[in-house]
Chains A and B, each alone.
Chain A
Amino acid sequence: MNTKAIDIKNIYYPPGGILMWIIIFLELFTFGMALIAMVYYGKQEASVFHDSRMLLNSTYGTINTILLLTSGFFMVVSVQELKTNNKKKSQNYLLLTMLFGFLFLILKTIEYNAKLTIGIGIGFNTFFTFYWMLTLFHVIHVIVGLIILGSIYLGLKKEKSNTTIEDVEASAAFWHMCDLIWLLLFPIIYLLF
């Protein structure tokens, strides 16, 4: 395991790597613009957006936020353990990170199923078009994040691992990006209207 220290104070080496941070900003701007558009349409169709928001279960949204934040916390601990060469502990915390990610997906599936059962699909109204587009796009990011974390876990598990600390930090940055995006989606979709 290569644990060579990188000076993250350097402008070219933010934690997780410069390429990952370019992706993070692009993602934040993409979701940000979509949310601004959603709030704009919410102003035009205030009663539709309010009634539609009341059809959402904000408890699901709150629990999902708690699951993602807890998952992010375990990711931080996993990276810290790896930096102190506790590979086994790092792997265990990585498993916990993924477990909470899976729980997020399970709860999201339950929520989607409840909506589809009562006929609330993507074309139901403007609010739910935004709801489905934004949350599904986010779910895709969570799935990609879990695949990345899974491959990192398998890489760390190997006896002669060629997984570097930079790989783990970049994966962690991607996983935290899922948190950041959700922290913008949750209040606007579930609480604001």
Chain B
Amino acid sequence: MVAVVSNNLFTFLIMNKANSFTLIILLVLTITASVISNSSSSSVKMAILGVASLKFIGVAFQFMELKKAHIFWKSSLLFFLTLFSILIWAII
């Protein structure tokens, strides 16, 4: 039973390689952000914002297929993300 499930899971992950890889990266980044937030280092806030930006890009470009869209949509989203990150960083 366990062998069948793990075999099916493995096949599924291979068939959806790019998206599975993105999901794993996103999950690792989420856990990393959560762990480093407990640190008292001065650069933690910047790291949290950086990790959040990477995750945002991962979902938008891979899951939402923005990587295949017209340059206007890609640059608009990156413009929003940059503006948002700069403003947050300027305030904190």
Contacts and interface: CB of A to CB of B under 8 A. Distances in A.
Interface in B19-59: 19-20, 22-23, 26-27, 30-31, 33-34, 37, 45, 48-49, 51-52, 55-56, 59
Smallest CB-CB A-B distances: 7 pairs: A191-B37, A15-B65, A187-B52, A11-B70, A62-B34, A73-B23, A14-B69
B63 A191 contact: no
24 contacts: A9-B68, A14-B66, A16-B64, A21-B73, A29-B80, A35-B84, A43-B91, A59-B34, A61-B34, A69-B27, A72-B63, A73-B19, A73-B22, A176-B60, A179-B63, A183-B52, A186-B52, A187-B48, A187-B51, A187-B52, A190-B37, A192-B45, A192-B48, A192-B92
A39 B48 contact: no
Most buried by B among A58, A180, A187: A187
Interface residues of A, number: 45
SS class of chain B's interface: helix, strand, loop or mixed? Answer: helix
A25 B66 CA distance: 13
Contacts of A156: none
Given A61-B34, A66-B27, 14 more contacts: A10-B70, A16-B64, A28-B80, A35-B84, A58-B34, A59-B34, A62-B30, A62-B34, A179-B63, A180-B56, A184-B52, A187-B52, A191-B37, A192-B92
Q: How large is the interface on B (under 10, 10 to 19, 20 to 34, 35 or more residues)?
A: 35 or more
B88 interface: yes
Contact of A32 (B22, B48, B76, B80): B80
Nearest to A58: B34
A116 interface: no
A15 B77 CA distance: 13
Contacts of A184: 52, 56, 84
B56 A183 contact: yes
Contact of B88 (A14, A35, A58, A183): A35
A149 interface: no
A12 B80 CA distance: 19
Contacts of A192: 37, 45, 48-49, 92
